[in-house]
């Protein structure tokens, strides 16, 4: 009799469990928004437990636990879809970024944490994008319905229409692509705080400087930002920042990159560092012409928009010389660079006086530095009034003297 009672009790428990699961499934189908609300509650509980926590073992074990907690919280932000709720979640939200995966796929396992971290970043940036995942093997019906054919697959659904993912697979690249495709192709920096926060999160970016955020150039900038899938575009109208340009061939820049990154990091809120490929004549040549230079080796120049001055690192590029160059630029003791003609071969000591006759500039005449005022005047009069064909002819073919 006791055995029969135990069997009956187990049967009742199983029945109740199945009943609860059925109710939960029906609720999930009826209201996809409950998933999002439940997610909010779970995150709030996590934050509360995190604030109450503390102490512990310390050391490496504590760090690993903290990283695991962060990853767990990030994964909770990603909504888990199923055969029952997938279509309704996609159709009832303006934008859904969906990862189709399978548990046995190594690439899926590698991408999953980055996808979860990207979801966390998007949430922190105030994005309304719903980030979701679907076990495409377990929920094959939903996977087929949504167009998931391989693993892993990322799709962006905008008002129910799917767009295949074309970005990279780091956290930052996923965030950039998602924001670009959901109406935020360009980030606008309106303050120093905005710029500092942006620089903490981005290492590579393209910046546009516009007095007013309008006009054909701005339209083209936004169009380029929307078309590119990997690089974050940013715009600002604040020109109160110095710029350091590094001109180098691609292979030279690759070797210099670690040095440049280390030196640039402390100045990133005050100085913008820009790399220009020497092979791109349309980019490099106009800048180098201002300095009268040829792109024969890595060159470092700078502009300070606050005072309209230009500068040149005239010594060899090393960590110490670049740090001194940037410090001088920032604090105002770096001497400006002025373009000048090469020193003539005739000058081998100082002072030296040279007279360049009209019509024969390649053969200057050296003037004795011991000449007194009277001798200097006589020398000038003799050379500008000589009849050896020098000078300028006017429209009436009359000779005009030229110094």
Helix, coil or strand: residue 333: coil
Helix, coil or strand: residue 159: coil
Question: Looking at per-residue confidence, does 237 or 151 come out higher?
Answer: 151
Ramachandran assignment for 301, one of left (phi > 0), alpha (psi -120 to 50 degrees), beta (any other) = beta
What pLDDT does 114 receive? 92
What pLDDT does 387 receive? 45
What pLDDT does 21 receive? 31
Query: Is the dihedral angle over the CA atoms 158, 162, 163, 165 positive or is it negative?
Result: positive
Pairing of strands 95-101, 130-135: parallel
- Reported as type and span, the H/E element at residue 11 is helix 2-30
- Note the pTM of the prediction, 2 decimals: 0.47
> What average pLDDT does the segment 150-178 reach?
90
Give which of 250, 247, 326 is closest to 288, Cα–Cα: 247
Measured distance CA(150)–CA(170) in Å, rounded: 19
Question: Sorting pLDDT into bands at 50, 70 and 90, what band is 152?
Answer: very high
User: Look-up: residue for tokens 């470092």?
Assistant: 300
Taking only the tens place, the pLDDT of each residue in 197-209 is: 776 777 677 878 7
The set of long-range contacts for 35-41, using a CB threshold of 8 Å and a minimum separation of 24, is 35/79, 35/85, 35/89, 36/79, 36/130, 39/76, 39/77, 39/79
Domains of the chain, first to last: 29-36+67-182 (3.40.30.10), 186-236 (no CATH), 242-331 (3.40.30.10), 353-400 (no CATH)
Taking only the tens place, the pLDDT of each residue in 84-134 is: 999 999 999 999 999 999 999 999 999 999 999 999 989 888 888 999 999
- Does 161 score more than 60 pLDDT? yes
CA atoms within 13 A on the CB side of 176: 25
């Amino acid at each position: 009799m006791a055995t029969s009672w135990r069997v009956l009790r187990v049967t009742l428990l199983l029945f109740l469990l199945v009943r609860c699961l059925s109710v939960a499934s029906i609720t999930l189908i009826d209201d996809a928004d409950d998933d999002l609300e439940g997610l909010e509650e779970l995150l709030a509980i996590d934050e509360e437990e995190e604030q109450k926590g503390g102490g512990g073992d310390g050391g490496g074990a504590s760090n690993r636990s903290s990283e695991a907690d962060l990853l767990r919280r990030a994964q909770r932000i990603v909504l888990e879809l199923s055969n029952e709720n997938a279509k309704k979640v996609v159709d009832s939200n303006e934008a859904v970024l969906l990862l189709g995966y399978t548990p046995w796929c190594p690439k899926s396992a590698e991408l999953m944490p980055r996808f979860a971290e990207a979801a966390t970043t998007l949430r922190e940036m105030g994005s309304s994008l719903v980030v979701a995942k679907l076990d495409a093997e377990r929920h094959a019906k939903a996977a087929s319905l949504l167009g998931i054919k391989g693993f892993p697959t990322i799709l962006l659904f905008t008002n129910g229409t799917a767009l295949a993912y074309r970005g990279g697979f780091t956290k930052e690249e996923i965030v950039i692509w998602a924001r670009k495709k959901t109406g935020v192709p360009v980030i606008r920096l309106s303050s120093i705080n905005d710029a500092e926060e942006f620089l903490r999160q981005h290492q590579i970016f393209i910046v546009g400087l516009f007095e007013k955020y309008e006009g054909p150039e701005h339209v083209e900038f936004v169009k380029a930002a929307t078309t590119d899938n990997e690089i974050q575009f940013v715009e600002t109208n604040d020109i109160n920042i110095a710029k350091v340009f590094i001109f180098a061939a691609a292979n030279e820049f690759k070797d210099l990159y670690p040095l440049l990154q280390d030196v640039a990091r402390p100045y990133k809120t005050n100085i913008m560092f820009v790399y220009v490929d020497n092979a791109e004549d349309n980019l490099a040549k106009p800048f180098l012409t201002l300095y009268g230079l040829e792109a024969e080796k890595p060159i470092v120049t700078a502009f300070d928009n606050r005072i309209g001055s230009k500068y040149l690192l005239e010594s060899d590029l090393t960590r110490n010389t670049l740090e001194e160059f940037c410090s001088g630029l920032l604090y105002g003791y770096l001497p400006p660079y002025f373009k000048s003609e090469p020193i003539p071969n005739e000058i081998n000591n100082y002072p030296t006086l040279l007279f360049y006759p009209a019509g024969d500039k390649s053969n200057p005449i050296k003037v004795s530095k011991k000449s007194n005022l009277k001798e200097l005047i006589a020398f000038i009069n003799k050379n500008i009034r000589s009849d050896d064909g020098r000078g300028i002819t006017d429209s009436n073919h009359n000779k005009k003297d030229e110094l």
